[in-house]
Structure 1
Amino acid sequence: MTSNSKEYNIAIAYNQGFSTYYVASKVKAKTKFTWLNTDYINAGYNANFDKTFYENYTKIIAVSKESKTSLLKAHGSLKPEIIIVKDIINSINIKEKAIEEENVLNKNKNIINILTVGRLAKAKGLHLAIKACQILIKKNKTIKWYIIGEGSERSKLQNLINSLKLNDNIILMGYKENPYSYMKTCDIYVQTSLFEGLGLTVIEATILNKPIVCTNFPTASSIIKHNETGLICEMTAKSIANSIIKYIDNPTFVKKVTANLQNQVNNDTELSLQKINDLLSQ
């Protein structure tokens, strides 16, 4: 790939992998920043290959303390300073989009609507969602579990749904331009990820005050407080199912969680904007 001949004051690689490699080796700039928005080790990156690219940057921006720790654990040390800037989330925009469409999910009051949003990829642990759904059905819970997203694991996931005869209970909905109307309408939001850089969809669900079940990937506890603003569970189908049942069988607990979400104050976006402004002003 040819180099970019133009020289810039600042160049930003807003992702690990290719964009980090390209900006490091092909772009001329006085200052270079690269973003890390995943769990570096669990995502399978090669530290020996990546090190020379990362050391071409002025600073590395990690979206969480946990993603920074993972990067340093893989590399031992790196020349650039690594700072933490959480992803910017526009809560006003999310709330506006959430009311653009109505009745997007089954509104039979006897059916519990569960939603998961994410790429159909191994990292999202969606096989656990399907197996948790099977447990719920065996326990006579009347549910429909909707999964929004596309990806390389679709056929495997659909085959698992078929083999467990869960076609009437778990639906792969594909990509949706606006997932927030679905998120607002669901009764319980579930994230089954095996790892995350931060966990944006969980944060979005908190903005919409949804009862949340979240697997215990490293950043989960920085987003929700267990038993207060959501439930954090083990990465097993049984633990996921039991957490969902806690909501289904305890409406008082649901009210407590949603009230706590409504009352919590989060100024992460303002702090992140200030940090980015400081970076660009250096």
Structure 2
Amino acid sequence: MGGVPRVVLDLLRNLPKDKFDFTLMLNLHQGELVKDIPNDIKLIVVEKGKEQMSSNPLFQKIQLAWRRVKLEIYDKFPSILYKLKVPEKYDIEVSPGYAEFDMVLNSPNKKSRKIGWFHSDVGYDKDKARVLSRIEKMKKFDFMIFGSKQTRQVIDDLYQVTYPKSTVIYNVIKVDEVLAKADLFEYDYKTEYPVFSSLGRLHSRKGYHTLMKVHRRLLDEGFQHKIAVIGGGNEMENLINQRKELDVEDSFILFDTQTNPYPYIKASDFFILPTQSESYPLVIGEVMCMRKPIISTNVGGISEMIEDGVDGVLIKYDEDEMYQAMKEFMTNSDLVNKIIDGTKTAYQKFDENEIYRQVSEVFEQQYQLKLQNERN
């Protein structure tokens, strides 16, 4: 249910089929979005997903161990992977995120143009060796696409590395689709108090542990409210334990992953994104177009989406700032109404057809360069 897979699927559905013949290659055939892969897209599956394995726990363990061995072999010897799984020669090979950098760069198809996509804020990552490794890998691509201006600029600011062969293309936000999904069912929080919703993967850098502390502080000072977090991830157990320690089990709701999170957001009064690190989060645009008042940390490319004080409120990743902003939303109706009014034209910021045009242009340019290289 991550942002990158959703972006990939949207591009596969909407880029012009009269210009491009697409194949999607999956390391693992698993995840909530597998069912959404368009039927007209060619599919290469490297290994089966858990859903396709034996239901017998012992047999499944053996299958998983064997799968891991094969993936490690493919990673070390990509020529074997391509010989067994990739019969065709492709003109362009695209890595939609850093997790696939090695796979694309190590492709034995030397004549294809390699395009990398990067959506991460390296300013947050304290692992300098990992950051430098990714920066160096990005230099090896024929062309790089960055998910926001900040994503590219912060690499220059912190590491003095630029990418002349690159561009910034924002991720598509499907406004009409989001609004339609928000109306598919109604949800009732059954409370007289205001509700803050949030949507995101449960990871330590997403800031939900800090949001819960602020929630407890606001309750202690008499500001009654609820918080609903929609999303799953490896921080779920920690958050459940923290929720118990802070005695907020009834007011801090953890919904886990939802295939359609939008009715839960629609039913809330406000939206908050407490993250420490982002690039260009789809959910910000989606919620703005739902005309929901937003508080968000000012990280990554979020300031390229929200105009502070006009169609949302930007804060530092800081407990006191988060506390003040949430308190302001609950006590200052004039500010809230101003934010709601400011979101009237939010959909104009997210022109999906222009984004499809930009991506198509990059692919076409890279294809022409491949032909030119072959002629030379």
Q: Common fold, TM-score beyond 0.5?
A: yes
Among candidates 240, 249, 252, match of residue 170 of structure 1: 252
Distance 1:80 1:7, change over 3 A: farther
Of residues 39-48 and 191-200 in structure 1, the stretch that sits farther from structure 2 once superposed is 39-48
Of residues 82-91 and 243-252 in structure 1, the stretch that sits farther from structure 2 once superposed is 243-252
Give the whole-Å Cα distance in 2 for the aligned partners of 1:16 and 1:251.
42
CA contact (8 A) 1:24 1:54 kept: no
Residue 144 of structure 2 aligns with which residue? 60
Q: Match for 1:248: what amino acid?
A: M
Residue 93 of structure 1 aligns with which residue? 177
Distance 1:275 1:113, change over 3 A: same
| Backbone CA RMSD of aligned residues | 1.9
Give the whole-Å Cα distance in 2 for the aligned partners of 1:13 and 1:67.
16
CA contact (8 A) 2:189 2:267 kept: no
Structure 1 length as normaliser, TM-score?
A: 0.92
CA contact (8 A) 1:85 1:272 kept: yes
Give the whole-Å Cα distance in 1 for the aligned partners of 2:163 and 2:189.
53
Gaps of 5+ in 1: none
Deviation at 1:218, TM superposition (A): 3.5
Deviation at 1:248, TM superposition (A): 1.3
CA contact (8 A) 1:11 1:27 kept: no
Aligned pairs (5 A) from 1:1-282: 1=74, 2-3=78-79, 4-5=82-83, 6-17=88-99, 19-26=100-107, 28=109, 29-43=111-125, 44=127, 46-51=130-135, 53-73=137-157, 76-77=160-161, 81-102=165-186, 104-108=187-191, 110-264=192-346, 265-282=348-365
Q: Match for 2:149: what amino acid?
A: K
Which protein shows a greater Rg? 2
> Over residues 169-194 of structure 1, what are the superposed CA-to-partner deviations in whole Å (9 max), with x where a residue is unaligned?
10111110011111111101000000
Gaps of 5+ in 2: 1-73, 366-376
CA contact (8 A) 1:191 1:214 kept: yes
> Over residues 65-122 of structure 1, what are the superposed CA-to-partner deviations in whole Å (9 max), with x where a residue is unaligned?
11112334565436661210000111110111010010x24143x2111111111101
Distance 1:31 1:247, change over 3 A: same
Give the whole-Å Cα distance in 1 for the aligned partners of 2:259 and 2:350.
26
Of residues 199-208 and 35-44 in structure 1, the stretch that sits farther from structure 2 once superposed is 35-44
Deviation at 1:245, TM superposition (A): 1.6
- When you count strand as a share of all residues, which structure comes out higher? 1
After TM superposition, where is structure 1 displaced by more than 6 Å over at least 4 residues in a row?
A: none
Distance 1:246 1:79, change over 3 A: closer
Give the whole-Å Cα distance in 2 for the aligned partners of 1:48 and 1:221.
25
CA contact (8 A) 2:228 2:255 kept: yes
SS at match of 1:7: coil
Distance 1:130 1:78, change over 3 A: same
SS at match of 1:8: coil
Aligned-pair identity in percent equals: 20
CA contact (8 A) 1:60 1:81 kept: yes
Q: Match for 2:177: what amino acid?
A: N
Distance 1:225 1:79, change over 3 A: closer
CA contact (8 A) 1:86 1:268 kept: no
Which structure has more relative contact order (CA 8 Å, sep 6+)? It is: 1
Aligned length: 279
> Over residues 132-164 of structure 1, what are the superposed CA-to-partner deviations in whole Å (9 max), with x where a residue is unaligned?
101210121221111111111112111111111
SS at match of 2:344: helix
Give the whole-Å Cα distance in 1 for the aligned partners of 2:292 and 2:169.
25
Deviation at 1:263, TM superposition (A): 3.0
SS at match of 1:146: strand
Give the whole-Å Cα distance in 1 for the aligned partners of 2:196 and 2:207.
16
Distance 1:100 1:31, change over 3 A: same
Deviation at 1:199, TM superposition (A): 2.1
Structure 2 length as normaliser, TM-score?
A: 0.70
